[in-house]
Amino acid sequence: MLDITTSKARRWILATALSGALITGCSNGGGEGGDAKPRVTPAVEPKPLAEGALHPLLLTQADLGSGYVQVQGQPGEGNFDDIAVQGCPALEKLGQSGAKNMFAAKAETSFTYNTDATLGEELHSDRPSVLSSKLRELFGAYTSCPTYTMTSGTTPIEVKVSKSATPELGDERFAYTSTMELPSGAQVLKTMAVRKGNVAVMLVGAPALVDRHIKTAVGKLPAGS
């Protein structure tokens, strides 16, 4: 049985919600979340930032305020090979695509809030056109099916997905909310990504936490990115 109160389960939930970026590739699934109009037009695109340049841009406890504790290790740490999806062709294809969706550089962190809520962050960097294309494919796949079944080992988990509104931030933004019917009860998570030039920030966790901190996360990105 999956117990969401354990730290292992919290990491698993974060990794699952971000599985397109953490452990799988992308698909050709349609659909977009939020304001996703193409805005990548420069003749010469900025190069990706290095991983070392991304780490200082991550959220910290000082950025978030009291009640947050940084989780040791990475949100995607561990073996998630036994996670599978049924009932959503775009996500099933995404899971078969391997590492081709990985961006040029990535940095990540995660936090617990008052011990019973989570907030995970990923920063990705690549050429703006690459970030734009892959984020569209990723969020398109995740919002292509209103319901699907996910399994972790032999545990089936029913998932409902709906597109979510996004604030006017960055060059492009995408968001969806997923409700996972876990044995311990329903778990609602929001996933939001904002691209600003050659860097994209992605937050996943309790909807209120994502909404509260996305502006701060985007505000840490370089002005010229």
Residue 128: CB atoms within 10 A of its CB come to 24
| Beta-carbon count within 10 A of 95 CB | 20
What's the mean pLDDT in 197-216? 96
Q: What percent of the chain has pLDDT over 90?
A: 53
Q: Is-contact 18 191, C-beta < 8 A?
A: yes
Residues 6+ apart with CB under 8 A from 217: 59, 63, 121, 194, 201, 203
Distance CA 138, CA 13 (A): 18
Q: Is residue 1 part of a domain?
A: no
Place of tokens 């998630």: 80
Per-residue model confidence as pLDDT tens digits over 36-69: 555 555 568 899 999 999 999 999 999 999 999 9
Question: What residue numbers bound the domain in which 116 lies?
Answer: 7-219
The residue behind tokens 């930032």 is 49
Q: Considering the domain boundaries, does residue 225 fall inside one?
A: no
How many domains does the chain contain in total?
Answer: 1
pLDDT at 30: 34
pLDDT value at position 73?
A: 63
Please state, in angstroms and rounded to a whole number, the distance separating the CA atoms of residues 203 and 218: 10
Is residue 2, in this structure, part of any structural domain at all? no
211 falls within a domain = yes
Buried b / exposed e over 37-50, threshold 16 CB at 10 Å, is: eeebeeeebbebbe
| Inside any domain, residue 113 | yes
Q: In this predicted model, what pLDDT tens digit does every residue of 136-182 receive, in sequence order?
A: 988 999 999 999 998 877 788 899 999 999 999 999 999 999 998 88
Residues 6+ away with beta carbon under 8 Å from 143? 31, 32, 33, 161, 162, 163, 176
Give pTM, 2 decimals: 0.81
The answer to whether the beta carbons of residues 26 and 134 sit under 8 Å apart is yes
**What pLDDT does 9 receive?**
42
For residue 65, the domain's CATH number is 3.40.1000.70
